[in-house]
Amino acid sequence: MNSELRQDLVSGDWIVVAPGRAWRPNFFVKNKSKRKPDLIKGCPFEHPQFSKNGKPDLIYPNHQDWVVQVFPNKYPAVIQKKKNIRAGVSKHGPYSIFPGVGYHDLVVTRDHYKNFPRLSRDKANLVFRAFQDRYLVLSDHDYIDYVSILHNWGPTAGASVFHPHYQIISIPMVPPDINHSLTGSARYFKSHRKCVHCVMIDLELKEKKRIIFENEKAVAFAPFVSRGPFEVRVFPKSHLPYFENTYDEDMESVVEALQYSLRSLEKNLGDPDYNFFIHTSPIKDKEKYRHYHWHIEITPVISIRGGFEWGTGIDINVIDPDNAAKILRV
Ligand SMILES: [Zn+2]
Ligand SMILES: [Zn+2]
């Protein structure tokens, strides 16, 4: 295909699909060096975490046969609010500032070598159960407005420790990317009376060109407007605005689709580093976000943003998403 500018339905942003620009067969695979796991010896996540006073510092769960643990990050991006800190905007000259309060939790699975796609279905489901449980606890804090759940796999995706771990970062405001996603889908809903994500899912299920995996309750596809090569999005098929209120059968389908997609990246693209993260509705004013459709985005670390991208905000994607799906589907 020729180069094509495509506009994202949600953000309104444009991207360029420019296949043939850098694409050679096995281009990504050839440039990869093999993943080297860190040794178990010295791994900070091998044993249940203990705080300085010797008492278990676990949030979840607290027994010998643990599969998933949640505990506070030793190097948090945000810190728990103390009573004397007011969680509100103040000024520094013309700038607005806000105290960096919130919670930064780590979710660790037991097996040093088993990353998310290699976990058994049951264990992978338990990870998502832990995300939901913790989300519900965090959303009780009146100053928390957004809970961001994410995974960094590999050093180029920002993981400083090899042992598979996930992060739950709760902050007192709605972050910019979520804000764009929420306002973009609200705008679409206002003019079409339809959920923009349901519309995207319907198109993908009808065209079947960019589907990577589908089961009864979930679907994974390479979005028509993919900002980067081999980007994948996983959606529950039902219109569900709130991650934390998702029923087990929907969630288990999503988890299966996520595991399939990640296994496929590993198998077909030479095991790239990647991030995945959840986009869901904020905590406050829930009713306002009934139009939103929570989902997971997977972004393999494959291309580097160049001057054109930084200078214009237009991402150049060298892989036609139709081809990305063809490669990842098998
Ligand atoms: Zn380990
Ligand atoms: Zn929807």
How many CA atoms, within 13 angstroms, populate the side-chain half-sphere of residue 100? 6
Active-site residue identified among 151, 163, 165, 197:
165
Say what the pLDDT of residue 181 is.
95
Strands of 218-221's sheet in order across: 68-72, 103-109, 165-171, 146-153, 274-279, 295-300, 232-236, 218-221, 211-214
Tokens of 202: 């319907």
CA 52 – ligand 1 centroid, Å = 20
**Which ligand is in closest contact with the Cα of 289?**
2
**Which ligand is in closest contact with the Cα of 165?**
1
Whether 165 is catalytic is: yes
CA 68 – ligand 2 centroid, Å = 30
CA 293 – ligand 2 centroid, Å = 5
With 0-12 CB in 10 A as exposed, 13-18 as middle and 19+ as buried, what is 102?
A: buried
CA 129 – ligand 1 centroid, Å = 21
Q: How big is the CA angle at 209 (ends 272 and 299), to the nearest 5 degrees?
A: 25
Compute the Cα dihedral for 222, 224, 230, 236 and give only its sign.
Answer: negative
**Which ligand is in closest contact with the Cα of 196?**
2
CA 43 – ligand 1 centroid, Å = 5
**Which ligand is in closest contact with the Cα of 292?**
2
CA 224 – ligand 2 centroid, Å = 17
Say what the pLDDT of residue 65 is.
73
Tokens of 241: 């605005």
What is the pTM (predicted TM-score) of this model?
Answer: 0.93
Say what the pLDDT of residue 56 is.
44
d(CA 79, CA 97): 15
**Which ligand is in closest contact with the Cα of 238?**
2
Say what the pLDDT of residue 2 is.
83
Q: What is the pLDDT along the chain (330 residues), one digit of tens a residue?
A: 789 999 999 999 999 998 875 555 455 655 567 788 888 998 988 876 554 444 444 565 656 678 898 888 888 888 888 877 777 889 999 999 988 899 999 999 999 999 999 999 999 999 999 999 999 999 999 889 999 999 999 999 999 999 999 999 999 999 999 999 999 999 999 999 999 999 999 999 999 999 999 999 999 999 999 999 999 999 999 999 999 999 999 999 999 999 999 999 999 998 999 999 999 999 999 999 999 999 999 999 988 888 888 999 999 998 999 999 999 998
Domains within the chain, CATH numbers bracketed: 1-31+194-330 (3.30.428.10), 46-173 (3.30.428.10)
CA 237 – ligand 2 centroid, Å = 8
- As beta bridge partners, residue 104 has 169
CA 254 – ligand 2 centroid, Å = 14
Say what the pLDDT of residue 105 is.
93
> What is the distance of C-alpha 161 from the center of its chain?
18
d(CA 89, CA 95): 10
Which residue in 230, 229, 254, 235 sits closest to 329, CA to CA? 230
